[in-house]
Amino acid sequence: MEKKVDIFVTNIFKKNNFTLFKSDIIENFKLFLAENKSKDRYLERIISIIKSLTTEKQQIYLASVLLYISPTSKYIDFLIELTNKSSLSKEYKYFIFHQIFYKLFINNNLRGINTFGILLKFYKNIYDTAINDVKKLINIKFIPKDERNKKLIFVLTSQYISINHAPTRRTLVKCINLKELGYDVVLINTCSLATKNNGINFYDLFLGSYSEDYFNIDCVKFKDYSIPFYQMKDMYKDSEVVNIIKILQKYKPYLILEIGATNIIADICDSIIPVVTISASMGLPISMASFRIASSKVDKKDVKLLKQYSISKRSLIIHKLKFSMIALTEDIHNTKNKLGIPEDKFILLFVGARLTSEVSDEFIIKLLKLRKLNIHILLVGGYDKYEENSKRIKYFKQNVTYLSSQSNMASIYKNSDLYVNPPYRQGGGASSIESLYCGIPVVSINHGDVYINIGKKFVVNDISEMITMIKKYILDSQYYRKMSKVSKKRAKKLIDSKKDTKELLNKIISNKLFF
């Protein structure tokens, strides 16, 4: 057993070749372990090797391999603690933080009892180092609210891509709502969502995307709105962070809204101007900002944990996350024929950028058993297994259509019959609400962002109940028509509006911690 593991590790590090995306050696070893009764012994041997390695970068790389071949909370916590204790740079650690954060987002089963606390501690250490480094370069002094411009709000986001990207839409709509309320708005894309790996070795690597075109523009336009815009060129450079601080010191905005994932640039800015973190998904944001917006009641354990870091419960603001419908404004009225989907089938729709990992082959096979009920599966977004599964899974090719990301989503929804939320997916909140808005019912198990938003009438307990509910939608036309009306009514309650933004601002500004 030890010899096999030792050979495996030796082959990984042969010629110091760190494979980041796909390695046959690692894939084969993962398959070997899946069928081995002594799996735990093999994994413990890998841990002992990790601890014996002389370089921290090798340790973290092998720990990322370990997490890949055995994705459990035990190994995510091990990787966090290993990186946190290392002497690696803050840039390296911050990049690893986002790798871990992303894995927790796409696989909530990785989250153990202590994971949130361990991750918060890890991030706090990175933040402390980062802000101390910046303070060596510029004097940072908090600006009281009486000295700030009450009509100016900065909006920061870690990722601004295009109108097809749900978090980008949410950011853009929030800017528009603020302008409609009479505020001047400046939008800054910090490009801080693992956009550059800077030679960091991590298996099954996640890289956030950004548009290089945005480096050359000073405003973004949508319809009749023009919003001053700046995209950071390299958030890892302290000089870039200093530049942002100088802008804040010059213009003195009343507050900063940070929209998206954990953003260390925004948290540093909180030392000058109050920052309000609005997570792109459910749950409590990991942030050092003055205020955190939570869409639902926060777990008591998490509140106690925040107190350990002198974070007041008062800084948590409960405000239901709302959604933008601007992706549905362009409707070219494509027919099913134009979209390449059958005219006479009941269309089961899946939407998402990560469908490859979110829609399991086992679930697809279960759905294909409904083919005699005249169903057809439509996958829209990111799914790179279509060709492979067309050859491998019986009945797949003739019953499944794949379309890449679409600009005209209204046409997609209106040519579908039922939105199916992949079981155990964490995200997907925006597309599910868009579907409801178009009168297309949603079916989801009781887990993740979609479950929290769509309402109990569209929720089931498990995959078995989901299959039963899909059959009901197919066979009971009266029930379908009823739920289509319920869908539209539910969606209207969840639309991001000027009124909703005003309510949020009132909650922030009236808070005793806003000073």
pLDDT digits (tens, 9 = 90+) for 119-144: 888 999 999 999 999 999 999 999 99
Please tell me the distance from the alpha carbon of residue 166 to that of residue 44, in angstroms, as a whole number.
41
Query: What are residue 143's phi and psi, to 5 degrees?
Result: -100, 115
Encoding tokens for residue 428? 């997907």
DSSP state, residue 282: S
Encoding tokens for residue 176? 């528009």
Give the pLDDT confidence score for residue 450 in this predicted structure.
Answer: 85
Give the pLDDT confidence score for residue 141 in this predicted structure.
Answer: 96
User: Exposed/middle/buried for 465, CB within 10 Å: 0-12, 13-18, 19+?
Assistant: middle
Give the pLDDT confidence score for residue 110 in this predicted structure.
Answer: 81
pTM: 0.86
Encoding tokens for residue 29? 């070893």
Start-to-end Cα distance in the chain:
62
Give the pLDDT confidence score for residue 147 in this predicted structure.
Answer: 98
Q: From the DSSP assignment, how many helices (H) and strands (E) are in the chain?
A: 22, 14
Give the pLDDT confidence score for residue 299 in this predicted structure.
Answer: 67
Does residue 232 contact residue 244 with C-beta atoms inside 8 Å?
Answer: yes
Give the pLDDT confidence score for residue 279 in this predicted structure.
Answer: 77
The parts of the chain modelled with pLDDT lower than 70 are 15-17, 108, 195-199, 280-283, 296-299, 302, 309-310, 327, 329-332
Query: What are residue 247's phi and psi, to 5 degrees?
Result: -65, -45
Please tell me the distance from the alpha carbon of residue 412 to that of residue 138, in angstroms, as a whole number.
51
Beta bridge partners of 259: 157, 278
Beta bridge partners of 155: 187, 257
Give the pLDDT confidence score for residue 174 in this predicted structure.
Answer: 92
Give the pLDDT confidence score for residue 430 in this predicted structure.
Answer: 83
β-pairing, 375-381 with 225-231?
unpaired
Residue written as tokens 């089938």? 345
Does residue 203 contact residue 8 with C-beta atoms inside 8 Å?
Answer: no
Give the pLDDT confidence score for residue 188 in this predicted structure.
Answer: 97
Please tell me the distance from the alpha carbon of residue 485 to that of residue 495, in angstroms, as a whole number.
16
**375-381: strand order across its sheet:** 400-404, 375-381, 346-352, 418-420, 442-445, 459-460
Q: Which residues contact 181 (CB under 8 A, 6 or more apart)?
A: 498, 501, 502, 505
Encoding tokens for residue 396? 């797949």
> Where do the DSSP E strands lie in 223-331?
225-231, 253-260, 275-279, 291-294, 316-318
Give the pLDDT confidence score for residue 283 in this predicted structure.
Answer: 64
Encoding tokens for residue 361? 């082959």
CB atoms within 10 A of CB 292: 22
Does residue 270 contact residue 289 with C-beta atoms inside 8 Å?
Answer: yes
β-pairing, 291-294 with 375-381?
unpaired
Give the pLDDT confidence score for residue 137 in this predicted structure.
Answer: 96
Closest CA to 453 of 429, 485, 487, 470: 429
Encoding tokens for residue 165? 């990207």
Give the pLDDT confidence score for residue 381 in this predicted structure.
Answer: 92
Closest CA to 212 of 144, 147, 160, 276: 160
Does residue 319 contact residue 168 with C-beta atoms inside 8 Å?
Answer: no
Distance set, CA 199 to CA 53, 83, 95, 202, 234 (Å):
19, 16, 11, 10, 15
Encoding tokens for residue 320? 């239901």
Give the pLDDT confidence score for residue 74 in this predicted structure.
Answer: 92
